[in-house]
Amino acid sequence: MSDSGALAIGDTVADRYRIESVLGRGGLATVYRARDTSLGRVVALKILDSNGADAAASERGRSEVELLASLSHHALVTLFDALEIDGRTVLVMQLVDGPDLGARLAHGPLQPADVVRMAIDLAEGLHAVHERGIVHRDIKPGNVLLEPSSLPGVEFTAKLADFGIAYLMDSTRITATGTLIGTAAFLSPEQARGAAPGAASDIYSLGLVLLESLTGKREFTGSLVESVAARLARDPEIPSELDGDWSALLTAMTTREPETRPTALEVAIAARDIAASRHVTTAPTLAFASVADAVADEPTAVLDAPDGPTRVLDATEEPTQVLRPGATERIASSATPATKRRWPLLAAAAVVVLIAGGIAAVAASTGGPPSSEPETVPTLPAIDDPLGSDLADLLEAVSQ
């Protein structure tokens, strides 16, 4: 690797990764398409300029990258490896063969069905990351990669990229220079004030990304000073043409008070309800579904947060949950009623099946049809309509 860090087509990094093309360049990194000659797969190679890093900072960055490498979720770009070569950090990542969301939005807003699928995917991915005490810090369209989908009627699946890059830079170059981390148009108000961002900061930024995806319009524009000043002065404007559930979700995600924003899990549940109400097909995620069912089946427990701001965990610490003072009740309540209503119906169906099974068992045990004596039809406890009427009809049907 040259002093400038530039690589040419055909160069090999770490005696293993052969450069095939340049995917993109930024102020602090260059991303290459490379072939892993050991495993025969194509990867994305991101080379960061970490000049000025001391040994302790580099080791801290390496520990955080190792923590990120332990994460696995279909909506997260997988980090395969992290290397230190000639004083530079080289990240070996999954290559997503598709555009980023920013490039796609240059052609106009997305279809609402694609936005709600993206909201589910990214919120589930953030939930997995936040549970480990990790904060992304730079959620923006450029960090959402769109992998073409093979499913009919589905344009893409979304993956969130660059997890841990902000942490790594914070441990090296950014800490040394005091440069603000994040992209001006998508910074949360607390980031704009210079406060340490927490999980709620990612929720705010994701809300702005979803809003732009639906409308095709960026909410906070202008110079860095103008954009940041606007962030601190007002909440985003949610267009009146967006229906109630989208409006409620985006309003809650982009409120200026971080403690009142929903968690990533709450966002994912609310987005799944939006998808269900519009009959949008979504990919099931078993690990998430079990959590969502538990949340939907039980009342949401609100825990008081301890004093002090949310902090980013060091890799040596045990990950903890982020506890929030208060709750975004309109999100929690709007996300669960459809699921809650299913439980009485399922229970009623189970009762009917058991009754029907009992009738069948009696017939089988006597070797023929039930006695000609008048049957006593089992009675049910009083249940309010309409469920009571539906259950009575089902019971009558299986009793005949």
For residue 118, is pLDDT > 90? yes
pLDDT at residue 285, rounded to an integer: 54
pLDDT tens profile 310-334: 333 333 333 323 333 333 344 544 4
Q: Is residue 93 part of a domain?
A: no
User: Model pTM?
Assistant: 0.66
> How many domains would you assign to the chain?
2
Both 249 and 271 in a single domain?
A: yes
Q: pLDDT tens digits, residue range 220-246?
A: 998 888 888 998 999 999 998 998 899
- 157 occurs within a structural domain: yes
Domain termination site, one of 315, 335, 355:
335
Is residue 26 in a domain?
A: no
- Give the Cα-Cα-Cα angle 145, 151, 153 (nearest 5 degrees): 90
Which domain-ending residue is among 287, 319, 335? Answer: 335
Residue 10 inside a domain? The answer is: no
Q: Please report whether residue 216 resides in a domain.
A: yes
**What is the reported pLDDT for 217?**
95
User: Do 326 and 367 share a structural domain?
Assistant: no
Same domain, 161 and 302: yes
Phi-psi category of residue 290: left, alpha or beta, with phi > 0 → left and psi -120 to 50 → alpha: alpha
* Structural domain boundaries, residue 386: 341-399
C-beta of residue 186 within 8 angstroms of C-beta of residue 229: no
**3-class SS string, 289-329:** HHHHHHHHHCCCCCCCCCCCCCCCCCCCCCCCCCCCCCCCH
Pick 46 or 116 by higher pLDDT: 116
d(C-alpha 12, C-alpha 174), whole Å: 28
pLDDT at 209: 98
Please tell me whether residues 238 and 361 are part of one structural domain: no
Q: Which of 49, 100, 121, 138 is catalytic?
A: 138
Statement to judge: residues 121 and 166 lie in one domain = yes
Beta strands in 133-272 (DSSP E): 144-148, 156-160
Residues 176 and 152 in one domain: yes
- Whether 212 and 293 map to the same domain: the answer is yes
| Lowest-confidence region among 150-164, 232-246, 248-262, 295-309 | 295-309
| 138 belongs to the catalytic site | yes
Is residue 358 situated within a structural domain?
yes
Q: Is residue 262 part of a domain?
A: yes
The answer, yes or no, to whether residue 343 has pLDDT greater than 60, is: no
Q: Is the pLDDT of residue 107 over 80?
A: yes
Q: pLDDT tens digit string along 252-295?
A: 999 999 999 999 999 999 999 999 999 888 876 544 443 444 44
312 domain-assigned: yes
Least confident of 47-56, 158-167, 186-195, 284-293: 284-293
Same domain, 261 and 384: no
Same domain, 243 and 369: no
* Statement to judge: residues 173 and 112 lie in one domain: yes
pLDDT of res. 296: 45
CB 179 within 8 A of CB 170: no
Kindly state whether residues 192 and 260 are assigned to the same domain: yes
Q: What is the pLDDT of residues 41-68, one digit of tens each?
A: 999 998 876 655 555 555 555 656 776 6
Quickly count: other Cβ atoms within 10 Å of residue 271's Cβ.
27
**CATH number assigned to the domain comprising residue 304:** 1.10.510.10
239, 380: one domain? no
Domain boundary among 279, 305, 335: 335
